[in-house]
């Protein structure tokens, strides 16, 4: 059995549809199925549903041979895995946003609220801007609204959350989408099986 770690939630539903379209039997958690491991015996695949930010850890440690993870998580965690292909789903962008009308005069350290401290640090380091990172786990948009931060670095998909909180994008850091990743040893020992899935769901990048 090839173990594949999949992200629970919004992205997971899209991944399950993609796999089903490619002929793989992958029931979604959204359909009411609460099993966290599901076997597709016909294709020799076991799906493991995990928290999106944990997928890369499962794959890096070999608990999963492959997995689907957002580029945001890959950039933030830099896991030691192969990134096989872009799945073209879960498209959004990592952006800097601030209260409408905010102007950074550079007079003091910029307070940046984010779930992605490494990405934010890298972005501002390139700009040579001194920042104070405020690491949060969610509801990032609240920070500038209540005055805890000046800006945020966060995922923007439709832009609705920003709009409803009177915030606006000031810069795009990087475009994001879901990627198929694989464990490095598994790519040696189960290359054929992994490539079959990569062929079915996306375009390969660094295995060829
Ligand atoms: C994400 C992100 C934004 C929102 C953006 O939050 O952190 O808050 O989605 O989506 P939009 O541009 O379509 O409004 P998520 O729903 O993952 O919840 P979180 O607050 O736990 O991060």
Q: What pLDDT, on a 0 to 100 scale, did the predictor assign at position 187?
A: 96
**Hey, is 201 helix, strand or coil?**
helix
- Of ligand 1's listed atoms, the one at least distance from the Cα of 9 is 17
Q: What pLDDT, on a 0 to 100 scale, did the predictor assign at position 99?
A: 98
Cα angle 151, 156, 162; round to 5: 60
pLDDT beneath 50, residues of the chain: 204-208
Q: What pLDDT, on a 0 to 100 scale, did the predictor assign at position 206?
A: 42
**Could you tell me the pTM of the whole model?**
0.91
Ligand 1 near 160 CB (within 6 A):
yes
Cβ-based neighbours of 75, under 8 Å, separated by 6 or more:
94, 116, 118, 119, 174
pLDDT digits (tens, 9 = 90+) for 153-175: 999 999 999 999 999 999 999 99
Q: Whose CA is nearest to atom 3 of ligand 1?
A: 155
Chain mean pLDDT for the chain: 93
Q: What pLDDT, on a 0 to 100 scale, did the predictor assign at position 208?
A: 34
| Å from CA of 82 to ligand 1 middle | 27
188 HSE (CA, 13 A, CB side):
4
């Amino acid at each position: 059995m090839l173990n594949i770690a999949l992200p629970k939630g919004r992205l997971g539903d899209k991944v399950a549809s993609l796999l089903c379209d490619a002929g793989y039997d992958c029931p979604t958690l959204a359909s009411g199925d609460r099993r966290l491991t599901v076997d597709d015996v016909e294709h020799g695949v076991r799906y493991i549903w995990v928290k999106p930010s944990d997928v890369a850890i499962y794959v890096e440690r070999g608990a999963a041979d492959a997995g689907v993870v957002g580029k945001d998580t890959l950039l933030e965690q830099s896991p030691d895995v192969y990134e096989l292909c872009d799945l073209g789903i879960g498209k959004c962008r990592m952006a800097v946003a601030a209260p409408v009308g905010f102007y950074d005069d550079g007079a003091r350290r910029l307070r940046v609220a984010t779930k992605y401290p490494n990405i934010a640090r890298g972005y501002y380091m390139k700009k040579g801007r001194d920042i104070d990172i405020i690491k949060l786990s969610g509801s990032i948009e609240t920070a500038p609204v209540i005055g805890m931060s000046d800006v945020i670095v966060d995922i923007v998909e439709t832009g609705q959350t920003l709009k409803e909180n009177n915030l606006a994008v000031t810069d795009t850091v990087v475009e994001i989408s879901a990627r198929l990743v694989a464990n490095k040893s598994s790519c040696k020992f189960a290359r054929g099986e992994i490539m079959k899935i990569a062929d079915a769901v996306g375009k390969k990048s660094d295995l060829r």
